[in-house]
């Protein structure tokens, strides 16, 4: 029965932890790949040229795929969501526990298929996590890694889509049906809102990506021409029998998924950060409803801005204007969130736990990463910046770093509930400061590389004269990357040490208000989620389950 | 408070890095580049101000509202609708205004047609090289076909020698354009997606198989400028580089004539 309990468990808490450790494995691998890439960039001739251009591009493809799918999609939503959604809304389980188990193991299978691409002939694909055809659609002739490696990549993504759709259905059903007595939608903690919105996003987005992946697979293996036009000619060989397809169709389908995917990665972080900031400011969330509406607005707009990834693609330049206005409109709900996070802290009694530091760090990098989007969202300015290092810096800051800070905030905040012990705060703070300073040192100079015109996805910078002049900047970035990676070892050590030896935690160690900090079997909710410092209440926090006669607003 | 200090240093440092312009665009070589730099400056100054204010506000909050001993409870507030309204409307105006300001620039590049007297040049990209075809004295691009493609024999676009209009077509591995004359590129790809990028023109455009994508400009300064491929095209992506040489009309004519003579 251990097998049922530990491996093929249907318990949402076990599944949440399984997702967490799957994400941890993936992120460590993803970081390791990026270190090899950064090393190669500054020492392209080292190791006797062992890192060939095609190997570099394979590492890049796998780095992106691991991080986007198996870290940023899996941890904030599937790991924390599975564990804490039922707890926060007072449900005993997810709506479909067995489906939940299937979602996890399907995700694990998808990861196994992805990693197997490293070991097949030709290696992992070289077409990037965006896999643009024709490069990704014609097989070995387009380059090493474009044979079986690319096929495995597509199959892996297809499986991942199925897993994500199953997971999303579960989240939506759980929130719709299993809220405990008194838990109205507007009394849900903000992470629950963020998981609901993210589930709706991934339901629609991954369904489309699944379709696109199937079409790409058919182009590769069944001779169809969804993405291939007539007249393709590779090296000395013409590709016969294809006609009528459009490479742009893939980009439309991919980014219809790809842009919402950015929000799939970051919206749960927004929920977690609001939750943590409120708890450690001892103040209600500033503008709870505005926070909910802002997330909904961001999610909705996220579905109508995919074209801003395609300003230079050859699509109609007229549509670029619409995509641009809608894109910059996302700045508005994003600004609401930023103001409200600062508003939440304003007038508070800030407690600087590690979770709080990461939440504050999230706000800082969210602003920094968001603002470069104001540059890229204008097609006119994108004429220079598209596909440069500026873009790489932008999405690493907003999607990579901000979402990761959300994960760290969640980890330090919820670890006591997940494992009954507390993470070491001293190590946690050291980890935070090194990471926070490190990511700025790493990614701000990367914007400058872009400003100087550095194209992205270049294994080396020896063939273009103006790129050679930028090597000092590259060396600085590489050292910053080493520092940030080393700092993560502190976290990993802290995590595994505290799992075994951390001090035992009380049931509600942070004096927080929400249901995950009670152990009532059938909770009844009488208050809004963030009743901190309510005047007249006996303590400076009123738990959602506290008796209704305690004075409060909601 | 350590974090507040770090935020302060960081905000000032980042603003300095951008203001110092140590790493910056190369000087532009046409009117579009000048207008581009103006819109970029407008955007980056606005972003810089918002960036600095946000990070500073964060730092101030951290110092001012940190928990100090026993000072009673935090302020109890669920928010302020008037403030929410104020910052929603103001960010909407600023961001959308900025987007609209940039639209004119985009329209000049992509909505306006190339002038009728523009010099047409057909650009063909392949893994991992560029070809630039000039119509020659007859002003007509000749017939091409896949079966005539022969890279080794110097026929990367598949010119059909049976067509008289093809015989005077010039195919060059580097781009040469006359100064102060409008140029119209017709961008094509033979295999995968590539991207044409000249920093000094502040222009970039993908080349997509199956599509003919036009791009026009008018360089106003002579010189040689690098063209690095800017869309991942395979293992040789980072080596797919050519140059654009902006020449006087006389130099350009002489170059074309020399190439014609070579061909005959």
Q: Which residues of B touch A470 (CB under 8 A)?
A: 23
User: How high is the pLDDT of residue A32?
Assistant: 98
A168 close to A506: Cβ distance less than 8 angstroms: no
User: How high is the pLDDT of residue A6?
Assistant: 81
d(CA B73, CA B71): 7
d(CA A409, CA A355): 4
Tell me the mean pLDDT in the region A127-149.
96
Tell me the mean pLDDT in the region A49-70.
96
Q: B148 to chain A nearest CA, in Å?
A: 11
Q: A259 to chain B nearest CA, in Å?
A: 19
Q: Which residues of B touch A453 (CB under 8 A)?
A: 25-26, 197, 199, 228
Domain boundary assignment for chain B: 2-62+83-110, 119-263
- Residue B87: pLDDT band (50, 70, 90) is confident
Q: How is A102-158 classified by DSSP, letter by letter? A: HHHHHHHHHHHHHHHGGGSTT-S-SSTTTT-TTTTTS-GGG-TTTTHHHHHHHHHHH
Contact A332 B95 (CB under 8 A): yes
Instruction: Note the ipTM here.
Output: 0.96
- In chain A, the domains with their CATH numbers are 11-227+251-542 (1.20.210.10)
Q: Which residues of B touch A247 (CB under 8 A)?
A: 193, 208-210
Contact A463 B73 (CB under 8 A): no
d(CA A247, CA A228): 6
Tell me the mean pLDDT in the region B196-219.
97
User: How high is the pLDDT of residue A236?
Assistant: 84
pLDDT at A273 over 70: yes
d(CA A18, CA B19): 47
Contacts of B229 (CB under 8 A, 6+ apart): A455, B125, B128, B194, B195, B197, B237, B240, B241
A143 close to A61: Cβ distance less than 8 angstroms: no
Provide the token pair at B179: 């100064």
**Residue range A491-525, pLDDT digits in tens:** 999 999 999 999 999 999 999 999 999 988 889 99
Name the average pLDDT for chain A.
Answer: 95
Tell me the mean pLDDT in the region A450-468.
95
- Residue A378: pLDDT band (50, 70, 90) is very high
A28 close to A492: Cβ distance less than 8 angstroms: yes
- Which of B10, B65, B87 lies nearest to residue A335, judging by beta carbons? B87
Tell me the mean pLDDT in the region A259-275.
97
Contact A346 B61 (CB under 8 A): yes
Contact B199 A132 (CB under 8 A): no
d(CA B81, CA B76): 15
Tell me the mean pLDDT in the region A22-47.
95
Residue in the structure block whose two tokens are 């509930």: A417
Q: B95 to chain A nearest CA, in Å?
A: 6
User: How high is the pLDDT of residue A550?
Assistant: 59
d(CA A496, CA A28): 14
Q: Regarding predicted confidence, which is higher, A88 or A5?
A: A88
- Residue A554: pLDDT band (50, 70, 90) is very low
d(CA A88, CA B231): 45
Torsion of the alpha carbons at A84, A85, A86 and A90, rounded to the nearest 10: 100
**Residue range A398-447, pLDDT digits in tens:** 999 999 999 999 999 999 999 999 999 999 999 999 999 999 999 999 99
B218 close to B183: Cβ distance less than 8 angstroms: yes
Provide the token pair at A198: 């993210």
User: How high is the pLDDT of residue A551?
Assistant: 56
pTM: 0.96
- First-last CA distance in chain B: 78
Provide the token pair at A230: 């007539």
pLDDT at A549 over 80: no
Name the average pLDDT for chain B.
Answer: 94
Torsion of the alpha carbons at A458, A309, A168 and A297, rounded to the nearest 10: 140
d(CA A550, CA B110): 64
* CATH H-level, domain B119-263: superfamily: Cupredoxins -  blue copper proteins (2.60.40.420)
Among A205, A59, A64, A28, smallest CA distance to A126 is for A59
A94 close to A100: Cβ distance less than 8 angstroms: yes
d(CA A525, CA A538): 18
Contacts of A12 (CB under 8 A, 6+ apart): A82, A83, A85, A86, A93, A94, A97, A100
Among A114, A132, A4, smallest CA distance to A63 is for A114
Helix or strand run (H / E) with residue A240: none
Ramachandran category for residue B202: left, alpha or beta (phi over 0 → left; psi -120 to 50 → alpha) = left
Contact A57 B232 (CB under 8 A): yes
Contact A367 B46 (CB under 8 A): no
Residue in the structure block whose two tokens are 């397809």: A245
Q: Which residues of B touch A283 (CB under 8 A)?
A: 74-77
- Helices A354-376, A331-345: crossing angle, 10 deg rounding: 150
DSSP letter, residue A516: G
pLDDT at A244 over 90: yes
pLDDT above 70 coverage of chain B, percent: 100
Instruction: Identify the three-state secondary structure at position A342.
Output: helix
């Amino acid at each position: 029965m251990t097998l049922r309990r530990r491996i093929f468990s249907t318990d949402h808490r076990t599944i949440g932890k399984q997702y967490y450790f799957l994400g941890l494995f993936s992120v460590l691998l993803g970081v390791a790949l990026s270190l090899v890439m950064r090393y190669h960039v500054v020492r392209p001739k080292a190791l006797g040229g062992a890192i060939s251009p095609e190997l570099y591009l394979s590492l890049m493809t796998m780095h992106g795929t691991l991080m986007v799918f198996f870290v940023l999609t899996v941890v904030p939503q599937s790991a924390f969501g599975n564990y804490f959604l039922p707890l926060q809304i007072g449900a005993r389980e997810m709506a479909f526990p067995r489906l939940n188990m299937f979602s996890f193991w399907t995700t694990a299978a998808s990861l196994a298929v992805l990693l197997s691409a490293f070991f097949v002939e030709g290696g992992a694909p070289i077409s990037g996590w965006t896999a643009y055809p024709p490069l990704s659609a014609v097989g070995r002739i387009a380059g090493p890694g474009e044979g079986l490696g690319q096929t495995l990549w597509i199959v892996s993504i297809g499986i991942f889509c199925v897993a994500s759709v199953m997971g999303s259905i579960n989240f939506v059903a759980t929130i719709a049906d299993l809220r405990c007595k008194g838990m109205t939608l507007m009394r849900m903690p903000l992470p629950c809102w963020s998981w609901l919105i993210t589930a709706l996003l991934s339901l629609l987005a991954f369904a489309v990506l699944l379709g696109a992946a199937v079409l790409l697979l058919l182009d590769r293996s069944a001779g169809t021409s969804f993405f291939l036009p007539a007249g393709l000619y590779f090296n000395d060989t013409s590709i016969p029998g294809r006609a009528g397809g459009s490479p742009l169709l893939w980009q439309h389908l991919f980014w219809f998924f790809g842009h919402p995917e950015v929000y799939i990665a970051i919206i749960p972080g927004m929920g977690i950060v609001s939750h943590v900031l409120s708890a450690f400011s001892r103040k209600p969330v500033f503008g709870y409803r505005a926070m909910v509406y802002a997330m909904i607005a961001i999610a909705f707009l996220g579905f109508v801005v995919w074209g801003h990834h395609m300003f230079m693609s050859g699509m109609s330049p007229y549509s670029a204007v619409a995509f641009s206005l809608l894109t910059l409109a996302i700045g508005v709900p994003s600004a609401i969130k930023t103001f409200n996070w600062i508003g939440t802290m304003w007038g508070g009694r800030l407690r600087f736990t590690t979770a709080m530091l990461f939440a504050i760090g999230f706000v800082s990098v969210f602003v920094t990463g968001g603002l470069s989007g104001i540059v890229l969202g204008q097609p006119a300015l994108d004429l220079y910046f598209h596909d440069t290092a500026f873009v790489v810096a932008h999405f690493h800051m907003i999607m990579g770093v901000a979402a990761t800070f959300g994960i760290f905030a969640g980890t330090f905040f919820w670890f006591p509930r997940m494992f009954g012990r507390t993470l070491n705060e001293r190590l946690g703070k050291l980890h935070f400061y090194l990471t926070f300073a490190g990511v700025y040192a790493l990614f701000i100079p990367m914007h400058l590389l872009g400003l100087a015109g550095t194209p992205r996805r270049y294994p080396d910078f020896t063939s273009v004269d103006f790129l050679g002049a930028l090597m000092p900047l590259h060396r600085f970035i590489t050292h910053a990357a080493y520092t940030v990676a080393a700092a993560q070892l502190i976290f990993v050590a802290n995590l595994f040490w505290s799992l075994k030896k951390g001090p035992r935690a009380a049931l509600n160690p942070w004096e927080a208000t929400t249901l995950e900090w009670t152990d009532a079997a059938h909770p009844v909710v009488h208050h809004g989620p963030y009743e901190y410092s309510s005047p007249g209440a006996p303590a400076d926090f009123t738990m959602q389950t506290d008796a209704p006669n305690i004075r409060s607003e909601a | 408070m350590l974090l507040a200090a770090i935020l302060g240093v960081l905000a000032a440092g980042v603003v300095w890095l951008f203001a110092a312009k140590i790493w910056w665009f190369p000087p532009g070589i046409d009117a579009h580049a000048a207008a581009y730099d103006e819109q970029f400056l407008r955007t980056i100054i606005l972003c810089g101000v918002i960036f600095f204010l946000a990070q500073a506000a964060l730092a101030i909050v951290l110092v001012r509202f940190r928990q100090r001993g026993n000072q009673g409870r935090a302020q109890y507030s669920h928010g302020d609708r008037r403030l929410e309204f104020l910052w929603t409307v103001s960010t909407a105006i600023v961001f959308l205004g900025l987007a609209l300001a940039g639209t004119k620039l985009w329209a000049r590049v992509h909505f306006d047609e190339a002038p009728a007297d523009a010099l047409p040049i057909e650009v063909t990209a392949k893994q991992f090289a560029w070809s630039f075809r000039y119509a020659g004295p007859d002003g007509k691009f000749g017939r091409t076909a896949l079966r005539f493609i022969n890279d080794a024999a110097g026929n990367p676009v598949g010119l059909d020698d049976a067509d008289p209009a093809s015989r005077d077509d010039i195919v060059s591995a580097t781009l040469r354009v006359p100064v102060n004359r409008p140029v119209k590129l017709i961008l094509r790809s033979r295999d995968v997606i590539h991207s044409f990028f000249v920093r000094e023109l502040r222009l970039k455009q993908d080349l997509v198989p199956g599509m003919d994508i036009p791009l026009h400009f008018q360089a106003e300064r002579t010189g040689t400028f690098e063209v690095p491929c800017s869309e991942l095209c395979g293992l040789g992506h980072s080596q797919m580089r050519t140059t654009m040489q902006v020449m006087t009309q006389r130099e350009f004519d002489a170059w074309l004539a020399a190439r014609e003579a070579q061909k005959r």
